[in-house]
Amino acid sequence: MEASGDPRGATVEFANCEPGAVHEFRIHARGRPILTRLRFFGVGLELIDGSSPRFKRSELHIGEQLSLLVDLIQQRIHKLYADKLFAGGSAAFDFATISGLGVAAKRIVVAPVSNSKIRDWGIENYARLIALLLEKSQCYVVLVGSKVQRDQLERIVELNGWNRRVINIAGSCDWSETAKIVREADLVISNNSGVAHLAAACGAPVLTIYSASHQPQEWGPRGNNVRAVMAIVPCSPCGHDKLERCVNDHLCMKLIAPENIADQAIDML
């Protein structure tokens, strides 16, 4: 091992000089000791009594790979969300009374609108899904969203004949109040949106509907009681953030039928 007198930083060379070695290797490292930085340029490989030396650019060392693997395993065996990420307590809304049903009825929270149209399944699809859920289960549906989304969600109530079992509270509660609502839900149904992650963090059962823009295994909420539904299309994942860029007429969402989502929801209930 030797070091140069380079004023910009020492150069260190490690050489394999073991007797009987088949290969010789040298590692050249240059850094700035004062700033405690070390830059790894690569490895010079020389086959003894063989071909001319070859220089290989720096790659992730096996030791670094194993260290990263240990870190990943540690992340995977721990919870993604803290146990008490949001304050407890009940929501200010008495949904059982508003819906006309008793406390034994199932509460299904639905967040039909995201912040990107390419992620949205569509108001008509959600309206049909809710009609199926009302028909097949003793439940009431709470629609959550922002104030600017309220009119869109009111359309779902209208398409279900202003049924009192469909309750639109879009714009009526803040994020912490929404957390209380989803925490007490028997099921939360959502697009690829923040509500899905919020519900998973609160420990609620979550059913998400994903377009081809993002893969749920990469971007979706995590948990033992979380499901993601996604149509298999050749253009997935496209990574687009605007619906106008889709060249397949939003096929990934059109292939997902309300009946399929209703079956998944009833199974989770």
| Residue ranges covered by each domain of the chain | 2-77, 95-268
**pLDDT attached to residue 143:** 96
Lowest average pLDDT, out of 78-82, 98-102, 161-165, 255-259, goes to 78-82
Confidence of residue 85 (pLDDT cuts 50, 70, 90): low
What is the C-alpha to C-alpha distance for residues 18 and 173, in angstroms, rounded to an integer?
71
More confident residue, 38 or 212: 212
**pLDDT attached to residue 13:** 54
More confident residue, 49 or 75: 75
**pLDDT attached to residue 71:** 84
What is the topology classification, in CATH, of domain 95-268? Rossmann fold (3.40.50)
Q: What is the mean pLDDT of residues 19-45?
A: 55
**pLDDT attached to residue 102:** 82
For the stretch 242-268, pLDDT in tens is 777 777 777 788 889 999 999 999 999
Confidence of residue 33 (pLDDT cuts 50, 70, 90): very low
- With a CB cutoff of 8 Å and minimum separation 6, the contacts of 140 are 95, 96, 98, 99, 101, 105, 106, 107, 108, 165, 166, 167
Confidence of residue 65 (pLDDT cuts 50, 70, 90): confident
Confidence of residue 115 (pLDDT cuts 50, 70, 90): confident
**pLDDT attached to residue 90:** 66
Confidence of residue 34 (pLDDT cuts 50, 70, 90): very low
Neighbours of 210 (CB within 10 A): 25
Q: Within 13 A of 264's CA, how many CA atoms are on the CB side? A: 21
